[in-house]
Amino acid sequence: MRPQDTVIPNITIDLQRAVQAALEEDIGDGDITAQLIPEDRSARARVITREDCTLSGRAWVEAVFLALDRELKLTWYYEDGEQLSANAVIFELEGNARSILTGERTALNFLQTLSGTATTAAEFSAKAQGTEVKILDTRKTIPGLRSAQKYAVLCGGCHNHRIGLYDAFLIKENHIAAAGGIDRAVAQARVIKPEALIEVEVETIGELEQALAAGVDVIMLDEFSDEDTRVALALTKNKAKIEISGSVDRDRIAQLSALEVNYISSGSLTKHLRAIDLSLRIDL
Q: Of these residues, 73, 105, 193, 239, which one is catalytic?
A: 105
CA distance 228 to 226: 6
DSSP, residue by residue, the chain: --SS----TTHHHHHHHHHHHHHHHHHTT--TTGGGS-TT-EEEEEEEESS-EE---HHHHHHHHHHH-TT-EEEESS-TT-EE-TT-EEEEEEEEHHHHHHHHHHHHHHHHHHHHHHHHHHHHHHHTTTSS-EEE--S---TT-HHHHHHHHHHTT-B---SSSSSSEEE-HHHHHHHTSHHHHHHHHHHH-TTS-EEEEESSHHHHHHHHHHT-SEEEEES--HHHHHHHHHHHTTSSEEEEESS--HHHHHHHHTTT-SEEE-THHHHS-----EEEEEE-
Q: Which of 92, 123, 222, 228 is catalytic?
A: 222
**Cα 152 to chain centroid, rounded:** 5
138 within 8 A of 161, measured Cβ to Cβ: yes
Catalytic-labelled residue, pool 2, 46, 139, 140? 140
2 is an active site residue:
no
- Catalytic site includes residue 105: yes
Catalytic residue among 137, 201, 207, 243: 201
Let me know if 251 is a catalytic residue: no
Catalytic annotation on 184? no
Question: Active site includes 146?
Answer: no
- Catalytically active residues, by annotation: 105, 140, 172, 201, 222
